[in-house]
């Protein structure tokens, strides 16, 4: 992508259709249709993985054939939480850690809508940690998309609930002494109906898991493992965005490969395991709530 294209996008006025056909936005009909091109360029650092997750989300929604007007994207605060700004759906940009709280209210008011809460690791699991476990426990029909880059990126590189033990952060200059949350295991233990993890290197796998998660009638969680080269990467001397992307490729294995390991090798595994870990059916909250209203209105106990 040339700088001229970025400048073109930045100065684009209301008429998105005026984009020249050779413009890079137009290469994908789906992306051109669902992005808010006039909001580009994004605020994200060049090379950040968040844009890859956004592409996967757009493709998943498009694959399911959902009407834009029937999809709501709800976000809190942070680099990841900027994602809905660039997408042409119903969007709520709310307060830090409260994406799932707002999403809960929206889903109960409009159970027919596909509600997707888009959160970073700090947003979802620190400030929003209570909302996360209780949305899973209730089995609300919401998809929680957690982009895990192991740090608070936007606010300056503070350690988050997923920062690995020993890693440096601006608030952990001698190394983090807190063990991280295993996001998928937390979601499973709290009661989520669908839980899967992939990385921004494995973009097509993210497409598939997101498609399944959004289609699920229950609380679904996608952990999209990404990286933040400008804070976490710099503080921990992990190289460029391309280096960190390569590490995701080299440092992850599929669930199938993991399952074939010996018990000793499984216990010693330090690589990211990618896969769909939970896919169960149990009563979805808004359906139970609707049943309750019907029962009470009918004068039954």
Smallest gap from Cβ 236 to ligand SF4, in A, equals 13
- Does position 50 interact with ligand SF4 (CB under 6 A)? The reply is yes
Please list every residue from 53 through 112 that binds ligand SF4, using CB under 6 A: 79
176 is a site residue for Mg ion (CB under 5 A)? no
Least distance (Å) between residue 53 CB and Mg ion: 12
Of the two residues 72 and 73, which places its CB atom closer to ligand SF4 in the complex? 73
230 contact, one of ligand SF4, Mg ion, none, CB 5-8 Å limit per kind: ligand SF4
Contact 16, 40 (CB under 8 A): no
Q: Is 104 in the site for Mg ion (CB under 5 A)?
A: no
**According to CB under 5 A, which one of 37, 94, 149, 252 is a site residue for Mg ion?**
149
SS3 readout for the chain:
CCHHHHHHHHCCCCCHHHCCCCCHHHHCHHHHHHECHHHCCCCCCCCCCHHHHHHHHHHHHHHHCCCHHHEEEEECCCCHHHHHHHECCEEEECCCCCHHHHHHHHHHHCCCCEEEEEEEHHHHHHHCHHHHHHHHHHCCCEEEEEEECCCECCCCCECCCCCCCCCCECCECCCCCCCCCCHHHHHHHHCCCEEEEEECCCHHHHHHHHHHHHHCCCCEEEEEECCCHHHHHHHCCCCCHHHHHHHHHHCEEEHHHHHCCCHHHHHHCCCEEEEEEEECCCCCHHHHHHHHHHHHHCCCC
Q: In the bound complex, what is the minimum distance in angstroms from residue 280's beta carbon to Mg ion?
A: 28
Q: Which is nearer to Mg ion, 97 or 120 (CB)?
A: 120
> Toward Mg ion, which CB reaches closer, 127 or 190?
127
226 binds Mg ion per the rule CB under 5 A: no
Asked if 121 touches Mg ion (CB under 5 A), the answer is yes
Query: Does residue number 229 form part of the binding site for ligand SF4 (CB under 6 A)?
Result: yes
231 near ligand SF4 (CB under 6 A): yes
Q: Is 120 in the site for Mg ion (CB under 5 A)?
A: yes
Stretch that binds ligand SF4, among 42-50, 110-118, 134-142, 282-290 (CB under 6 A): 42-50
Q: How many residues bind ligand SF4 (CB under 6 A)?
A: 12
Candidates 274, 178, 258; CA nearest to 225 is: 274
Q: Does 48 bind ligand SF4 (CB under 6 A)?
A: yes
Binding site for ligand SF4 (CB under 6 A): 44-45, 48, 50, 79, 149, 153-154, 228-231
């Amino acid at each position: 992508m040339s700088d001229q294209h970025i400048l073109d996008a930045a100065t684009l006025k209301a008429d998105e259709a005026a984009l020249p056909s050779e413009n890079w936005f137009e290469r994908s009909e789906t992306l051109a249709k669902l992005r808010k091109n006039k909001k580009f360029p994004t605020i994200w650092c060049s090379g950040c993985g968040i844009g890859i997750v956004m592409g996967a989300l757009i493709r998943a929604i498009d694959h399911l054939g959902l009407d834009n007007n029937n999809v709501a994207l709800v976000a809190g605060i942070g680099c990841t939480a900027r994602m809905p700004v660039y997408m042409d759906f119903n969007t709520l940009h709310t307060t830090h850690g409260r994406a799932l709280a707002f999403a809960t209210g929206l889903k109960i008011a409009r159970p027919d809508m596909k509600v997707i809460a888009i959160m970073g690791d700090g947003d979802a699991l620190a400030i929003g940690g209570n909302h996360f476990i209780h949305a899973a426990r209730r089995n609300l029909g919401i998809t929680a998309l957690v982009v895990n880059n192991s740090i608070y990126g936007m606010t300056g590189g503070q350690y988050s609930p997923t920062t690995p033990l020993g890693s440096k952060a601006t608030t952990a200059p001698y190394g983090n002494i807190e063990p991280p949350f295993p996001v998928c295991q937390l979601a499973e233990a709290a009661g989520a109906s669908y839980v899967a993890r992939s990385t921004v290197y494995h973009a097509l796998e993210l497409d598939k898991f997101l498609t399944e998660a959004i289609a699920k009638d229950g609380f679904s969680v996608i952990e999209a493992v990404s990286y933040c080269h400008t804070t976490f990467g710099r503080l921990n001397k992990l190289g460029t965005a391309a280096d960190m992307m390569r590490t995701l490729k080299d440092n992850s294995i599929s669930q199938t490969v993991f399952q074939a390991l010996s018990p000793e090798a499984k216990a010693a595994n330090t690589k990211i395991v990618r896969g769909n870990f939970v896919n169960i059916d149990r009563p979805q909250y808004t359906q139970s709530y609707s049943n309750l209203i019907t029962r009470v209105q009918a004068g039954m106990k």
